[in-house]
């Protein structure tokens, strides 16, 4: 952004896709100023965003919905920010949401001692991280949050870490393959029909011979962009005709992979199709708000926020006493943040220790304990500037940048 601000070009269209990811509320204000400067130089600035602080400076808002996946894809509102507030859309209804401070916080069951942490810009940090509660580690971008937690906590015995790295997957990968859901489904189909599990994988013996299990046929057009057309033999079902004759619970494998998570959760819950192993994984996908995704949807078609939540759901199945989540709100709509907070609460109530590296004020306000790093970024950071409850940070609002922004948020 700074590089483009120094340019003498005007009448240019700039597109920013979620520029607030990884930014503290203090940094978002500075970013907003840069976006407005770009606009005022005579340019058009398009921003794809969820954060209300970024939406607030817009001259024109385009809201898509009404919900996600197959229930979305429509323009549900166009107009001003004030018009969005009164529009009744999902974004409009949640635009002014403010999480309040909890009347009481949980008591820790112990502490995780960190001594002499000096990774990157950390300045010989000593801190006791409470266990058995929801701990949020915050601070401006570059203050040393990830260095502290990933350098001193992640990798330890019994620690499950969900970091910011994107999930990898080809156009053949889908939620069922990535989460391990396909394995119990394949075995159930095989057992019910007395055949090999390999038949129920589109990447193995059961694949349609014409498209090799891709469901589409790719045509290379040389110097032009290639095209993908539905396979004429399997009609996009990916499996050969023989495999599609086998059923489980009255459905063939392509019908099961075509189910949304919410429907599959009900399908595998009871009756002839009861499958506890599959039901457990589907429950995790539903808990992170992905009930609308189909099991066989290619990972390449998912948004960044959806990929982040699939990764979170996968790690929820792992056994560990301490969960570390690095910015789990990345890519989440305002309505999804509330669901995430419920998931974090369920983890803590189940006896887990949850440590979240986060800038989102709703997550900060919901914490039992806050650890704030700063006071600035880079060599100006790397120190603990506050430890305590969210209410105590609000009272000490003048001492840290995080306290100032959290106080404004809950007010």
Neighbours of 145 (CB within 10 A): 26
DSSP 239: B
Indicate whether 396 belongs to any domain. yes
Please give the pLDDT value at position 196: 95
- Collapse the DSSP code of 350 into the 3-class scheme (helix H, G, I; strand E, B; otherwise coil) and give the result: coil
Range of the domain at 39: 2-94
Last residue of one domain, picked from the residues 268, 301, 334: 301
Question: 326-336: string of b/e by CB count within 10 Å (b at 16+)?
Answer: bbbbbbbbbbb
Task: Tell whether 295 and 238 lie within a shared domain.
Answer: yes
Q: For residue range 37-88, list pLDDT tens digits in order.
A: 999 999 999 999 999 999 999 999 999 999 988 889 999 999 999 999 999 9
Task: Tell whether 207 and 295 lie within a shared domain.
Answer: yes
Task: Tell whether 120 and 215 lie within a shared domain.
Answer: no
Please give the pLDDT value at position 315: 87
Q: How many domains does the chain have?
A: 3
Beta bridge partners of 383: 374
Indicate whether 375 belongs to any domain. yes
Indicate whether 165 belongs to any domain. no
Q: For residue range 188-204, list pLDDT tens digits in order.
A: 999 999 999 999 999 89
Please give the pLDDT value at position 4: 77
- CB 61 within 8 Å of CB 73: no
Residues 360-386 have a mean pLDDT of 95
Indicate whether 309 belongs to any domain. no
Residues 233-243 have a mean pLDDT of 94
Task: Tell whether 210 and 286 lie within a shared domain.
Answer: yes
Average pLDDT over the chain, rounded to an integer:
92
Indicate whether 102 belongs to any domain. no
- CB 322 within 8 Å of CB 153: yes
Task: Tell whether 114 and 27 lie within a shared domain.
Answer: no
Task: Tell whether 179 and 297 lie within a shared domain.
Answer: yes
Task: Tell whether 139 and 75 lie within a shared domain.
Answer: no
Please give the pLDDT value at position 97: 86
Q: For residue range 281-306, list pLDDT tens digits in order.
A: 999 999 888 999 999 999 988 887 78
Residues 371-376 have a mean pLDDT of 95
The string of DSSP letters for 242-253 reads TGGG--BTTB-H
Indicate whether 310 belongs to any domain. no
Residues 250-260 have a mean pLDDT of 96
Q: Report the distance separating Cα 185 and Cα 256, nearest Å.
A: 9
Q: For residue range 264-273, list pLDDT tens digits in order.
A: 999 999 999 9
Residues 87-97 have a mean pLDDT of 93
Percent of the chain with pLDDT over 70: 100
What tokens were used for 205?
């013996």
Q: Residue 221: which pLDDT band, with cuts at 50, 70 and 90?
A: confident
Q: For residue range 128-164, list pLDDT tens digits in order.
A: 999 999 999 999 999 999 999 999 999 889 999 988 7
Indicate whether 314 belongs to any domain. no
Q: Report the distance separating Cα 233 and Cα 376, nearest Å.
A: 61
Task: Tell whether 294 and 335 lie within a shared domain.
Answer: no
Q: Which of 385, 361, 382, 359 is nearest to 372 (CA)?
A: 385
Residues 5-29 have a mean pLDDT of 89
Task: Tell whether 392 and 356 lie within a shared domain.
Answer: yes
Residues 327-339 have a mean pLDDT of 87
Please give the pLDDT value at position 393: 96
Neighbours of 1 (CB within 10 A): 12
Task: Tell whether 121 and 87 lie within a shared domain.
Answer: no
Please give the pLDDT value at position 98: 84
Please give the pLDDT value at position 349: 94
Q: Report the distance separating Cα 311 and Cα 305, nearest Å.
A: 10
Task: Tell whether 183 and 136 lie within a shared domain.
Answer: no
CATH number, domain of 184, equals 1.20.1580.10
Last residue of one domain, picked from the residues 66, 94, 122: 94
Task: Tell whether 342 and 395 lie within a shared domain.
Answer: yes
- In sequence order, what E strands does 147-262 have? 159-162, 216-219, 227-230
Give me the sign of the Cα torsion angle 361, 343, 332, 62.
negative
Residues 11-31 have a mean pLDDT of 91
Q: Residue 90: which pLDDT band, with cuts at 50, 70 and 90?
A: very high
CATH number, domain of 34, equals 3.40.50.300
């Amino acid at each position: 952004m700074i590089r483009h601000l120094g340019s003498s070009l005007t009448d240019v269209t700039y597109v920013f896709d979620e520029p607030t990811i990884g930014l503290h509320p203090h940094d978002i204000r500075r970013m907003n100023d840069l976006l407005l400067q770009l606009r005022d130089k005579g340019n058009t600035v398009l921003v794809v965003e969820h954060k209300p602080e970024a939406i607030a400076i817009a001259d024109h808002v385009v809201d898509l919905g009404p919900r996600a996946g197959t229930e979305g894809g429509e323009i549900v509102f166009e107009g001003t920010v004030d018009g969005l507030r009164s529009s009744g859309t999902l974004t409009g209804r949640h635009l002014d949401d403010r999480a309040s401070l909890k009347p009481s916080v949980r008591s820790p069951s112990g502490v995780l001692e960190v001594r002499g942490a000096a990774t990157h810009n950390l300045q010989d940090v000593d801190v006791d991280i409470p266990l058995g509660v929801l701990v949020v580690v915050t601070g401006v971008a570059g203050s040393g949050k990830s260095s502290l937690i990933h350098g001193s906590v992640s990798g330890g015995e019994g620690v499950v870490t969900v970091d910011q790295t994107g999930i990898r997957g080809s156009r053949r990968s889908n939620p069922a393959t990535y989460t391990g859901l396909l394995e119990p489904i394949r075995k159930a189909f095989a057992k019910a029909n007395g055949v090999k599990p390999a038949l129920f994988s589109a990447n193995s013996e059961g694949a349609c011979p014409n498209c090799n299990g891709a469901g589409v046929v790719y045509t290379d057009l040389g110097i032009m962009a290639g095209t993908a057309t539905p396979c004429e033999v399997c009609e996009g079902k990916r499996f050969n005709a023989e495999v599609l004759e086998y059923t489980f619970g009255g459905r063939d494998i392509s019908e099961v992979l075509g189910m949304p998570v919410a429907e599959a959760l009900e399908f595998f819950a009871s009756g002839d199709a009861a499958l506890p192993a599959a039901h457990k994984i589907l429950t995790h996908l539903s808990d992170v708000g992905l009930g609308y995704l189909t099991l066989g949807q290619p990972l390449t078609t998912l948004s960044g926020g959806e990929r982040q939540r699939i990764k979170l759901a996968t790690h929820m199945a792992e056994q560990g006493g301490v969960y570390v989540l690095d910015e789990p709100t990345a890519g989440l709509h305002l309505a999804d943040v509330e669901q995430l907070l419920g998931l974090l609460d369920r983890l803590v109530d189940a006896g887990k220790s949850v440590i979240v590296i986060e800038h989102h004020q709703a997550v900060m306000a919901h914490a039992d304990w806050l650890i704030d790093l700063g006071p600035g970024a880079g060599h100006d950071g790397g120190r603990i500037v506050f430890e305590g409850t969210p209410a105590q940070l609000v009272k000490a609002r003048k001492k840290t940048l995080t306290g100032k922004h959290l106080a404004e948020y809950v007010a």
